[in-house]
Structure 1
Amino acid sequence: MIEFKNIHKKFGKLVVLDGLNLSIKKGGIFAILGPNGSGKTTLIKSLLGMVIPNKGDILFQDKSVLKKWDYRNQLNYLPQIANFPPNLSVIELIKMVKNLRPKESNEQDLITLFGLEPFLQKKLGTLSGGTKQKVNLVLTFMFDSELIILDEPTTGLDPIALIHLKELIKKEKEKGKTILITTHIMSFVDEMADEIVFLLDGKIYFKGSIDALKKQTNNDNLEHAIANLISKQYA
């Protein structure tokens, strides 16, 4: 479904992606992992068209998407930080996003799921971080798309909202959707991901199942397995 071919990206003299090749098949939950500065965000932004690689190509559903935009109607994106206009109310923001995107939406089910009814008329600038994240999730999941990209989706969520998020992701997977997740919460990855892709210094050092990584590093704890992978590369 997604293919990165020989992707190179520099910012000045800093090499962020260094000849990266990656294929992600349709259907399933894929965690993109790596320490800060490993290239995760640049990789995701390249797929979104927010960063243009210096070299290489990106294919989505077998078609090159570099410097194109129409393919983005087939994906949903949850940014790590929800920078909403503070003077808009929650319902005004939802209506604005619906008007910008020519697709059917199911926002009401999601509003109910995350308990946002009492906040619909409140200004976004007055909301807590956790409530903003729930709004962020509504905006992400209210459209039906083949690819869902979630950047640190658990940020600020209370335990009940986190349970709902996990259920929502699993339902999308059951529909055959492809879900890419970046997160530092290894317990979330261990529970949810079918495969992980581990980046370091702009290159892929591991791609496969969590069980395969644990076996490779001889460690049953995912956090320790990841730490082992990093320490070996820098040894």
Structure 2
Amino acid sequence: MVKVRNLYKRFGKFEVLKGINLELQKGKVTAILGPNGSGKTTLIKSILGLVIPTSGDIYVKGINVRKNWDYRKFIGYMPQLAVFPENLTVKELINMLSDIRKEGYNPNIKEEIIERFKLSDYMEKKIKNLSGGTKQKVSALITFMFDPEIYFLDEPTVGLDPVSSSFLKDLIKKQSERNRLVVLTSHIMSEVEEVADEIVFLLEGSIYITGSVEEIIKNSGEKNLERAIAKLMEKSYNA
């Protein structure tokens, strides 16, 4: 569904991505991991069209994304820190975005998320008066209510209480069961182990390892993903 071919990105003399080749398949949750500076944010933003690669190609549903923005209608993006117009109420924001992006809008999904996140009491409140956790819930609502085929979720559970976090993780897993593609980043390895099917681990702009969560844990000889990833990073530092 998403193919990356020989992707390079330089910022001045600094080479951030070094020939990335990757295929992301629908029906799976793929976690893109790596230490700070590994290139994971640049890779994701390149796929989203927010960063223009130096060379290489990206295809979404067979569409070469270079100079073609139509593919974005297939994608829901939940940034780590969403920025919304502060003077709007939650209800006004939802209505505005529903008017702009009509395609895929699913009122049933919207109502379910509002109910489970207990957002009804916040509909008339302005964005600027919301807590960080409530803003995160609004961001999730906006991402999922358009029922996209592809999700990019950057640290999706940051700031959420345990009940809301559990619901969101269930919602993420549900999308893969519905044959959607979900790509996420998270620094919480227990969360990644819980929801992800595949891991793409980047290091210094290259793919260091890929595989299923089970394979990576088994091959590391460790008992969980957090320790497996720690061993990977330790090996890289000692190389």
TM range (shorter): over 0.9
Is 2:235 the counterpart of 1:232?
Answer: yes
User: Hey, what does 2:84 align to over in structure 1?
Assistant: 84
Q: Which of 211, 216, 220 matches 2:214?
A: 211
Work out the CA distance in 2 between the residues paired with 1:130 and 1:69.
Answer: 31
CA RMSD of aligned residues (A): 1.0
TM-score (norm 2): 0.95
- Opposite residue 169 of structure 1, the aligned amino acid is I
Q: Who is 1:63 aligned against?
A: 63
1:43-68 superposed Cα distances (whole Å, 9 cap, x missing partner): 11111111110010001112211121
Counterparts of 1:1-235 in structure 2, within 5 Å, are 1-103=1-103, 104-106=105-107, 107-235=110-238
Structure 2: how far apart are the matches of 1:98 and 1:105?
A: 10
Amino-acid identity (%): 52
Matches of 1:175 and 1:217, distance apart in 2? 31
Letter in 2 for 1:101: R
Once residues 158 and 73 of structure 1 are traced to their aligned partners in structure 2, the CA distance between those partners, rounded to angstroms, is: 30
CA distance in 1, matches of 2:67, 2:146: 23
Structure 1: gaps (5+ residues): none
Is the deviation greater in 122-131 or in 205-214? Answer: 205-214
**Gap runs ≥5 in structure 2:** none
Alpha-carbon offset, residue 234 of structure 1: 2.2
Deviation at 1:160, TM superposition (A): 0.8
Segment of structure 1 superposing worse, 42-51 or 166-175: 166-175
Distance 1:95 1:226 in 2: 42
TM-score after normalising by structure 1: 0.97
In 2, Cα distance between the equivalents of 1:26 and 1:8?
Answer: 24
Moved more, 153-162 or 223-232: 223-232
